[in-house]
Structure 1
Amino acid sequence: MTPHRETEALVVDAHHHVWDLSVRDQEWLIGPRLAPLRRTFTLDELRPRARAAGVTATVLVQTVTVAEETPEFLALAEDDPLVRGVVGWTDLTAPGVADELARLRELPGGERLVGIRHQVQGERDPEWLLRPDVARGLAAVADAGLAYDLVVRPHQLPACVRAAERHPGLVFVLDHLGKPPVASGGTVPWASAVRALAALPNTVCKLSGLVTEADPERWSVSGLRPYADTVLEAFGPGRLMYGSDWPVCLLAASYHEVLDTARALTGDLGPQERAQVFGGTADRVYRLGLSGRA
């Protein structure tokens, strides 16, 4: 792979995780494929990699549907200048979701709460996002001025479209391009569903997670390009943001390799357009307050 080490004034890794197995099990880490991730990953491990890659700031994203995780992440963000935003979890179906969001904002680091996410990909109901109790929760997220991250699979994208239509005041951020079938090389029906979502102005997409949707031992930039080109055309650079998906990305590539790959996939963009993908979009959507540093 040819390195694409350009120097952007602002580089935001808009999607990464940490976890400490001595504090809490990560129940999703099952099977031999995920065995390399079955250990603790901390900000202390990420920090030198981010610094060496020229990353200015990061967004820390939830991993499990456990209420205690979000306050822990907010406390980490308060103590670490690298983490400028937290996408946390709260029970959207709880009657008191609005009060819980307000409580989280008052906790140490609460000002770093920028979004909410639920593991919709694990819900059996493909229209989970359209349930009345979930819709009430999404409205509370919008009222709190937060974004909502969508971690879904392709068959759930039609419900994402309808949810975004029903909540025009809420910004929906599609994680990992909606997990297209990269390993099989297919684009149908993923591509049409992604275009339908992108047609709505309150939607954004993360250029993240592609290397782990591909064959981890045989992936290539050329194999990822059809998927990156689809979202670039559909959303445009102003609604696309880069994310490493570290440490999950380590199943297929290093932290530097993921960033270099994203730069290669966006190599035809002009400097201002790349600046949006690698920092400006995340800064604006998540309200990170970084533009003055750019």
Structure 2
Amino acid sequence: MSDGQVLVDAHHHVWDLDLRPQPWLDEPGHEPIRRSFSSLALRSAAIRPIAGRRLTSTVVVQCVTSVPETRDLLALAESDPLIGAVVGWADLTSPAIGDVLDDLRAGSAGRYLRAVRHIVQGESDSHWLQRPDVERGLRAVGERGLGYDVLIRSHQLPQAIRLAERLPELPLVLDHAGKPPLARRELTDWARQVRALARHAQVRCKVSGLVTEAEHEKWTVDDIRPAWDVLLSAFGPDRLMFGSDWPVCVLAGGWNRWAATVEELLDGCSGPEIHAVLAGTATAFYHLTPAPTKEGTLCS
């Protein structure tokens, strides 16, 4: 498969409510996604190509603070040829974090663990990422060659900047572009802090989750473009990666509408730049391997 055919969705979720509750789905407004979603459902949903590319590989990301969920995602990655990497969860504050990570990476499925994430957006401590126990845990992540997905809201960007300053050796990716307040159209502070974060060479950024930060029913490409322009100028295309945030994106139009929007935003970019955003950056960050190394067929 040539580079021009590869499309990586660097951020999606799956969950089975019969197997594991997702308490966050009980929040008002989540009714449309308050059901189970599988990787098969993603195949059925992700129909539209982007710049002529159809979905070939994905990165599945944790939803709850649960090591058993991470084990389930690793097993899914081993069995499903669409999934190339897992972003899992482990308790960064635990003195046993190294042992937990080593245990998760053991066995044949463990090779799919490529990064760790914590739901920092739900932490009230404005210095959570600077806690000594958290920094110790993050060092353990980096020592094992794993990356760290930074899930924060826009007001928490200073924590991410300090993290990048203090741990320059730890590969970081900013999930959902730090959740710019698109619905309020107040991007000045977010843009300033994103540019500061982007000055750190080890940081990448996911172009994902933007539509659910805009007005769910009314957003247009023009509402998303100001954030895109900041990200493109701050990180450059070779440090940006496409992600759908499926099925959360269903709340604001779904996978295919977001795919069409990304294609429009990429208009004017060169072929190599498009490849970076749609495949290259995610492939490098998550150490994705070509799909033919796994048995089975990909969606088309």
Range class of TM-score, shorter chain: over 0.9
Q: Percent identity of the aligned residues?
A: 50
- Kept in 2, the 8 Å contact 1:74–1:108? The answer is no
Question: Deviation at 1:49?
Answer: 3.1
Q: 5+ unaligned residues in a row in structure 1: which ranges?
A: 1-6
Question: Deviation at 1:8?
Answer: 3.6
Q: 5+ unaligned residues in a row in structure 2: which ranges?
A: 294-300
- Kept in 2, the 8 Å contact 1:74–1:112? The answer is yes
Query: What's the RMSD between the two structures over aligned residues?
Result: 1.5
Paired position in structure 2 for 1:268? 268
- For residues 230-273 of structure 1, the C-alpha deviation after alignment (integer angstroms, 9 at most, x for no partner) is 01100001100000000000001121111111111121211110
Q: Helix, strand or coil for the counterpart of 1:98?
A: helix
Paired position in structure 2 for 1:34? 30
Q: Helix, strand or coil for the counterpart of 1:85?
A: strand
Pair 9,77 (structure 1): closer, same or farther in 2 beyond 3 Å: same
- Cα distance in 1 for partners of 2:201, 2:212 equals 28
Letter in 2 for 1:286: Y
Paired position in structure 1 for 2:71? 71
Paired position in structure 1 for 2:60? 60
Question: Deviation at 1:292?
Answer: 9.4
- For residues 156-210 of structure 1, the C-alpha deviation after alignment (integer angstroms, 9 at most, x for no partner) is 1111111111111111100001000000111021111100000000100000001
Paired position in structure 2 for 1:139? 139
- Cα distance in 2 for partners of 1:179, 1:129 equals 17
Alignment TM-score, normalising by the size of structure 2: 0.93
- Cα distance in 2 for partners of 1:103, 1:207 equals 31
Paired position in structure 2 for 1:115? 115
- Kept in 2, the 8 Å contact 1:17–1:246? The answer is yes
Structure 2 residue 53 is matched with structure 1 residue 50: no
- Cα distance in 2 for partners of 1:287, 1:196 equals 26
- Kept in 1, the 8 Å contact 2:82–2:291? The answer is no
Question: Deviation at 1:51?
Answer: 5.9
Paired position in structure 2 for 1:13? 9
Paired position in structure 2 for 1:159? 159
- Kept in 1, the 8 Å contact 2:114–2:287? The answer is yes
Alignment TM-score, normalising by the size of structure 1: 0.94
Pair 257,268 (structure 1): closer, same or farther in 2 beyond 3 Å: same
Question: Deviation at 1:52?
Answer: 5.5
- For residues 112-146 of structure 1, the C-alpha deviation after alignment (integer angstroms, 9 at most, x for no partner) is 11100000000001210000000001101100101
Letter in 2 for 1:103: D
Q: Helix, strand or coil for the counterpart of 1:47?
A: helix
Q: Helix, strand or coil for the counterpart of 1:162?
A: helix
- Cα distance in 2 for partners of 1:118, 1:127 equals 14
Letter in 2 for 1:168: P
- Kept in 2, the 8 Å contact 1:88–1:115? The answer is yes
More deviation in 14-23 or 102-111? 102-111
Letter in 1 for 2:21: D
- For residues 9-29 of structure 1, the C-alpha deviation after alignment (integer angstroms, 9 at most, x for no partner) is 210000000000001111111
Question: Deviation at 1:66?
Answer: 1.3
- Cα distance in 2 for partners of 1:292, 1:232 equals 32
More deviation in 257-266 or 72-81? 257-266
Question: Deviation at 1:32?
Answer: 3.4
1:23 to 8, 11, 19: 19
- Cα distance in 1 for partners of 2:171, 2:195 equals 16
